[in-house]
A = this chain, B = another copy of it.
Amino acid sequence: MAQYDFAVMEPNSIVQALDVAGYRLTRPRRAVAALIAEHDGHFTASELEAVARSRRLGISRATLFRALDLLTELQVVERLDLPSGEHAYVPCAAAHHHHVICSRCGRATEVEDCGVAEAVLEIGRRSGYRIESHRLELFGLCRHCQAKTTPHA
Chain A interface residues toward B at CB < 8 A: 79, 81, 83, 85, 87, 98, 100, 102-103, 109, 111, 113-116, 118-120, 122-124, 126-143, 146
What residue in chain B is nearest A114 (Cβ atoms)?
B122
Contact indicator B129/A143 (Cβ below 8 Å): yes
Contact indicator A132/B141 (Cβ below 8 Å): yes
Contact indicator B137/A124 (Cβ below 8 Å): no
Report B-chain residues with C-beta under 8 Å of the C-beta of A131.
Answer: 100, 138-140
Q: With A123-B138, A134-B138 as known contacts, state yes or no: A129 contacts B114, CB within 8 Å.
A: no
Contact indicator A119/B116 (Cβ below 8 Å): yes
User: Chain B's nearest CB lies how many Å from the CB of A124?
Assistant: 7
User: In whole angstroms, what is the CA distance A111 to B134 when docked?
Assistant: 13
The contact sample of 23 A-B pairs, CB cut-off 8 A, is A79-B85, A100-B123, A100-B124, A102-B129, A111-B123, A113-B119, A115-B118, A115-B119, A116-B116, A116-B123, A118-B119, A119-B119, A120-B138, A128-B143, A129-B140, A129-B141, A130-B141, A131-B139, A132-B141, A133-B140, A134-B137, A135-B135, A135-B137
Contact indicator A123/B114 (Cβ below 8 Å): yes
Report B-chain residues with C-beta under 8 Å of the C-beta of A132.
Answer: 103, 139-141
User: In whole angstroms, what is the CA distance A119 to B97 when docked?
Assistant: 13
Report B-chain residues with C-beta under 8 Å of the C-beta of A113.
Answer: 119
Contact indicator A139/B134 (Cβ below 8 Å): yes
